[in-house]
Amino acid sequence: MVTEFENIINIKNYRTPNSLRAYTKVFLNFFPIIFGPYFAFVATKYGLVFGLTLAIIYGLVLTSLDNIQEDLEDPFDGIGSDDIALNFPTMLEPGSLDNE
């Protein structure tokens, strides 16, 4: 149990480095500007609807991946469905571990 508790503490303390988080934020903000000419080329070659759809899909996928990374980063923040919730007061009540 002590080993698993130490693993949980490591998960809490050693998250994604701030430099990597900053890089992903900058990349997500500059991605449309950098790849704008490519999406314009695709739109002129294959049609406006396809070019816009491709740009929207790229934006949605990258934003979704960033949101997933942020949600999975801290399992103790209480935001999201995959968080770890330890309810210590009710776990330690007398008789809470007895089988009914």
The pLDDT, as a whole number, for residue 63 is: 87
pLDDT tens-place string over residues 10-27: 776 666 677 877 888 888
pLDDT of residue 95: 60
Task: Say which amino acid occupies 87.
Answer: N
- Mean pLDDT across the stretch 49-56? 93
Confidence of residue 62 (pLDDT cuts 50, 70, 90): confident
> What DSSP string describes 36-80?
HHHHHHHHHHH-HHHHHHHHHHHHHHHHHHHHHHHHHH-TTSS-S
Check: pTM over 0.95? Answer yes or no. Answer: no
Cβ-count burial 61-86 (b if 16+ within 10 Å, e if not): eeeeeeeeebeeebbeeeeeeeeeee
